[in-house]
A and B are shown apart, each in its own frame.
Chain A
């Protein structure tokens, strides 16, 4: 069967390659793109929303609805993964087998890294409208901390700092917060997800942007909790055997 499969794929891939190359030759040369959509957004992020990160303005304001769906993709997938890896009746949850501990030098390094990672993670989450970053990037950074702890100290401590119910509840709360903040727009008589909070100082600062920093915090909470839960669920699975 393998030969037939490869043959079929080879034919298909060859033809697809030709079709795609024909298609991309019709695109503007790399570097010459002048999309009016993007240029408008670049122009209005500062004046109209008091933020300096145009991508942030796009993600949390102009196309905030896409981001709402994306938040829920993360939330739904984390829930789904937890469902798929749930302990069945034959297994117990929480094996808690200690792996061979690492030595003192590793632990010291990790300790220093944890402090830096947490600080940097919070910085990225809260300054999303000013500098490259935002809820997603910061959340991922924060979620890497439990992984560092696991590498240095084994699964027991990981289970203690990522309690399952609390973290999954926090992730869900982040998602609910995002959807809920959008309702403020409806309450104020506008459209869903409309940026109706005061925009703050014109020179972008940490409190400017109206709903943008709040949505950023909500997504940071959700992403951080979601990825931390994923890490815990996968490592629990590994240590259950």
Chain B
């Protein structure tokens, strides 16, 4: 089981992030929990790509044939980090607007459409 511990950590982070979103009472807190959920995907991807004893995939000081960790997951993560940052910016802007209109940041304040 210790060989798959990192994956278990990713699952743990995912579920607690989702719990945070479901029970959140403040929109900015909710956005932070969304970031936590996204972190679980980073942990998963990087754990998958890891290679014991491998160097970083930069071949400046080491010969090109050295065993290195997987660069593909790192490229995926790079894209994901940018996507996360920008979606969070949008959500925070929306939350700010809600705060301006309703003087509160609670999700209960934005239940104008129901049923």
Contacts and interface: CB of A to CB of B under 8 A. Distances in A.
Report if A and B touch in the complex (beta carbons < 8 A): yes
Interface of A: 2, 5-6, 9, 13, 16-17, 20-21, 24-25, 27, 29-35, 37-38, 41-43, 45-47, 52-55, 58-59, 63, 66-67, 70, 73-74, 76-78, 80-81, 84-85, 130-132, 136, 204, 223, 230, 233-234, 237
Nearest to A82: B93
B26 interface: no
Interface string B37-55: 0000000100111111000
Contact of A53 (B8, B10, B58): B58
Given A74-B82, A77-B87, A77-B90, A24 B7 contact: yes
Contacts of A38: 49, 57, 69-73
B34 interface: no
A43 B64 contact: yes
A55 B87 CA distance: 24
Interface string B71-115: 111110011011100110110111011000000000000000000
12 contacts: A16-B15, A32-B52, A38-B69, A42-B64, A54-B68, A55-B74, A55-B78, A59-B79, A66-B75, A70-B83, A73-B82, A233-B93
A223 B19 CA distance: 32
Contact of B52 (A9, A31, A42, A70): A31
A6 B22 contact: yes
B93 A21 contact: no
Interface residues of B, number: 50
B8 A21 contact: yes
B67 to A, nearest CB: 9
Interface string B1-32: 00111111011001100110011000000000
A46 B64 contact: yes
Given A20-B11, A24-B7, A9 B19 contact: yes
Pairs A-B, 3 closest by C-beta atoms: A77-B86, A31-B52, A29-B3
B57 A42 contact: yes
A17 B4 CA distance: 15
A5 B96 CA distance: 26
B6 to A, nearest CB: 5
A212 to B, nearest CB: 13
Contacts of B83: 70, 73
A21 B78 CA distance: 26
A58 B69 CA distance: 14
Contacts of A5: 22-23
A78 B93 CA distance: 10
